[in-house]
Structures are given as C-alpha cells and as structure tokens.
A and B are shown apart, each in its own frame.
Chain A
C-alpha cells in the first residue's frame, strides 16, 4: 500500500501532476514544433477557456468526460476558424491566429464575469491554474483515494502515448513532408486535426493545474530544448519528457523555497533548460556553433586561397595575382589574416611560398579542382 500512501503525500501529488502535464504536452509538442505550428497550441490553450465556460454553463460540470469532449470541439472550432480565415486570402495565417483566439477567449472571460462570480473557476485560475490545490479534489478508485487531477492527467498521458506510439511513422511523415504524406495516402490533414484535438483535451485536463497560458510553456519549451540536443525524433520526445519531469521536481522545490507560484516555477524551469540547451547543446548550441564556424571560416579561407591561385595559374597575370601583395590588395585580406591563412595552408601542404610568389602543391591543385568541378570527382582528397 505504498502507492496509496504516496497518493496522500501532497508534494508527490503536485510533482507527479506537473510531470504528467509536461510529458503529455511534450509528446504532442514535438510534432507541432516540427510542423511549425507551435502557435496553434497557444491559440488552442487560450480559446479552450471559451469551451470550458460554455460547457460548464450548459451542464454544470467543471471537469470530466463532458468537459474533455467540449475541449476537443473547441480546439477543432479554433483551428477551423483560423483555416477558414486564412483561406479567404484576406488575412495571413499568423494574423488569422491573432484574430480568432482573443475573440473566443474574450467571450469566455466575459461569460465568467457574468455568471461565475462565486465558483472556483475565476479569471485568475483561468490564466495561472493552481497546482498547489490539486490534491483537494479526489475520487475513490478501488478503495483508494486518488486526486482527480492526477487521475485525469494520467489517462490523458496514456492516450497521448498510445496515439504517438501507434501512429509514430505517420505523424513523423506529416511533420516533415506533408505533401509526401498526402501522396502516400496517410491523410495528414485528418492526422493533424487529431493531434490538435489531443492538444485541446490535454489542455483541459491540465487546466486546473497550470491554467491556460502556462500550458503553452509545457507544450513548446521542453520539445524545443530537446530539438537543440538531438536530430532523432524519438530522442526529441524522450528528452522533452525528461526535461518536463526534472522541471516539475525542481520547480516544486524552488517554489517552496521562494514561496511563489508552483506552476510558474515549473514552467520557468523548462525555460532554464532551454537556455542551457541553447548555450551548450553539443551540435546546435551557440558555443558549438561558434567553434565550428571558426573552423569553417579558416577552412573556407584556405579554400578561397587555393581557388584563387588555381584560377590564375598559367595565366598572363600569374606573377601579379599569385603573390603575397595580391592577397592584401585583391582579396582585401588583412596582413594578419594573410599570415594566418598562409601558415595553415603551408601546414596542410597546399601552398608553397617562394619569396613573394605563391605556388600550388599538387594537393592544393586537386583541392581547387574538387571545389570548382565537383562533378568530375577526381582524386578524393578531403578538404583541408
């Protein structure tokens, strides 16, 4: 009965709920990012406020299956409206997004103002959620009291996991090459709507915990950070989920430490991971990029030098062009750069210096040929 005891442990329930929100969102967010539709998640998470309020006014239910169904409908409604507007060609896609969700969101908030003065979904919760209170509402499941938010997040996460696992190949194709997916008969349009519907239902399930806007962070930020770390899709999903889980744990304790919003610190921590990935990512991080760029610049400089020498080799202007002064005068290189490039080119035995004159070595000549006439594919010397 360790599990049952854990479910009475408030920190555990809060952290587990946050982690499930993150994992469920990362599963879907990875595909949204690759398809360049992240801002639809923003639109949906704002406009489900409309759906939640309308369903609540009609049925009196604040959560449960009816709310989930209502959310799915709202998501589809939002995206259909955006596509409808964009298809008129009067409005660009980004402006269409910026028109639709504020309108729906506004209606939702006004309805709340009018009818929900004393209910616990006030406008504040709408935006920020209150993950600190998720343990308050619980249901009996097999004789064990299970917090309702945790239960619904677990179900939603499971559904998302099954969806992504079963349709992994199709989703991947849809995200990378929608045209090809269509030709192969995978109905990427239907699949995309299914993905967005799940995004909506996840947003509703996560609503009590993190609110409408922080949810956007869980969808977009962890998979984005993962995208800076790997090229493999499944790794991107895995890393995204791991980042979400660690963020939930760290976010919880930071919030306790600073006495601030738990959902806020959880979302903020995902941002911290993104920053780390941006700086230190092994291939796509800024530092790795800068190091590689330097290497490539100097390689390019060496290549530019051999091509220059090759072009003028045997021509009337060879004396003038293939000389040290020409590198400064014609290529507009500084003295320091000339020295550096020549040192490297000599070290790679591409160029020989004879007084003021520069001569290509056979290796340098074949590198130049390889650059200029790649279709010939002569001697396979790799670029210096």
Chain B
C-alpha cells in the first residue's frame, strides 16, 4: 500500500475530478470535483434526484462515468478495493433471503477470500466481533427476515466493518431506522473517525447535519459546496441546492428555515 511516485493526490482520502455521469441519456451528475480529506465524518446532502446515491455508486465503480476519474488514497478505485467499505441502501435487497445475520456479515470478507476459498473459523470470529461492535452479537443466528429495520441496518454496517477499510461509504444509513439504532450507528461512525478512518454518508435529515458531520458535500446534479460544516452549511448554499424544492426543507431548522422564509 505504499503511495508511490505515480500516486495522484495521495493526501486525500477521496479525490474526484470532473466526474460526469449520464443515465439512459439523462445526465445525473455534471462535472463534479470532490475532495475529502482523511479522518473526517462527511455527509452528502441534496434534494431528491440530486444524484447522491449515483455519486457514491460511481466512486465505487458500480456505474461507469461519461467523463472524469476517481482516486481513493491516491490510486484508482480498482487498485484500492480492499481499502473501501460499502453499505448499500437497506431497501436494495430482499430481506426474506434464507440466511442468518452472521452469514450476511461474513459476506463482507468474500472480497478478501478470493475464489474457491470458504470462510473459516477465523473469519467467523471476525464477523462475530463486528456484530458485537454494533450490539447484535446475540442475533447472529437469527434469520434476517426476523430482524427489525434498525437491526437489519446494523447488520449491514457490521458487514462493512468486517471489511476493515480505510474509507467507508454509506448510502442512507439512517433511512427507516429507530432512534436507538440511529444513535448506535452514529456512535460507531464517530469511533471509526477517531480511529483515523474516513466515513462518507448520504444523508437526508438536515436537522442532524451539524451534530453528526464535520465535513459536508452539498450536491444538486453538480457540486454546490463542500468543506467543513460550519463554512459550508449556510443558508445561501442550501438555497442554491434545494432551489425550487425549498418547501421540502424543515422550517424548524434554524439556518435553512429562517433564511428561506425570508426569500
């Protein structure tokens, strides 16, 4: 993992240059430049259809961009797969699949295992440890369809934790989870940051932006603003991002609410 001479911007956890993505002829992301330093807990916010999920998926190589490139810790994603963990949206899978929570977590190790190798005792131990971290150790043998939404989300998080990565991408980790789980998840994300990891999460709830994140990316088809939360989370930037959708903002939010009412 030495960042050799040909590494590009090795000081940044994520470096995205001029990324343009079009989906079935319709552009979803326009010329995105994105820099996230290591060791931050970053949120990506923006209105519905702003391309937040698409941005994460493109960074992870799940969608091919029309232009631009992505570097993780100075190298293309393809070479850095082992250093990246991913938590997809919980609703993207069928939870009636016949498997246990422990088994789902073990799937996080399949990338390291490679072809033909089966997870052994050591891997199961790692998976149990990850389940313990999210407070789900007792549920390891539970069929995943019997877990609550919040528990399912924690299992997904544990699966990413077991990847033991440097950069984590989470797609709407707080969608449809109970308050206890939301608190548990944000605690774990903070611990990851304290351990020097970089965490990037697509986020929906503007009210919690300032308490959860220290780095923020505001997105609406293009990058509106990015940087430290106090510098970026301003009425002007939110207005630029949410534009016509101002009514969707929480009017109770001190920054967004007041300024938008004034308009």
Contacts and interface: CB of A to CB of B under 8 A. Distances in A.
Do A and B interact directly, with beta carbons closer than 8 Å?
yes
Interface of A: 292-293, 296-297, 300-301, 303-304, 307-308, 311, 330-333, 371-373, 375
27 contacts: A292-B25, A293-B25, A300-B20, A301-B66, A301-B67, A303-B27, A303-B30, A304-B30, A307-B20, A307-B31, A307-B222, A330-B17, A330-B18, A330-B68, A331-B18, A331-B20, A331-B68, A332-B67, A332-B68, A332-B69, A333-B67, A371-B30, A372-B221, A372-B222, A373-B243, A375-B243, A375-B244
Contacts of A308: 18, 31, 67
Given A372-B221, A375-B243, A311 B31 contact: yes
A332 B66 CA distance: 9
A331 B27 contact: no
B33 A311 contact: yes
A293 B23 CA distance: 12
Nearest to B223: A311
A145 B22 CA distance: 64
Pairs of residues from A and B, 7 with the lowest C-beta to C-beta distance, nearest first:
A304-B20, A331-B67, A307-B31, A375-B243, A296-B25, A375-B244, A330-B18
Interface residues of B, number: 17
A293 B30 CA distance: 18
Contacts of A300: 20, 22, 25, 27, 66
Contacts of B27: 300, 303-304, 371
A331 B31 CA distance: 9
A303 B243 CA distance: 22
A178 to B, nearest CB: 22
Nearest to B67: A331
A257 to B, nearest CB: 43
Contacts of B30: 303-304, 307, 371-372
Contact of B67 (A296, A304, A372, A373): A304
A292 B222 CA distance: 25
Contacts of B17: 330
Given A332-B69, A371-B27, A371-B30, 14 more contacts: A300-B25, A301-B66, A303-B30, A304-B30, A304-B31, A304-B66, A304-B67, A308-B18, A308-B31, A308-B67, A330-B18, A330-B69, A331-B68, A372-B30
Contacts of A375: 243-244
Interface in B13-44: 17-18, 20, 22, 25, 27, 30-31, 33
A52 B130 CA distance: 60
Interface string B219-263: 001100000000000000000000110000000000000000000
Interface in B49-104: 66-69
Nearest to A373: B243
A296 B22 CA distance: 10
B199 to A, nearest CB: 27
A372 B69 CA distance: 20
A64 B69 CA distance: 69
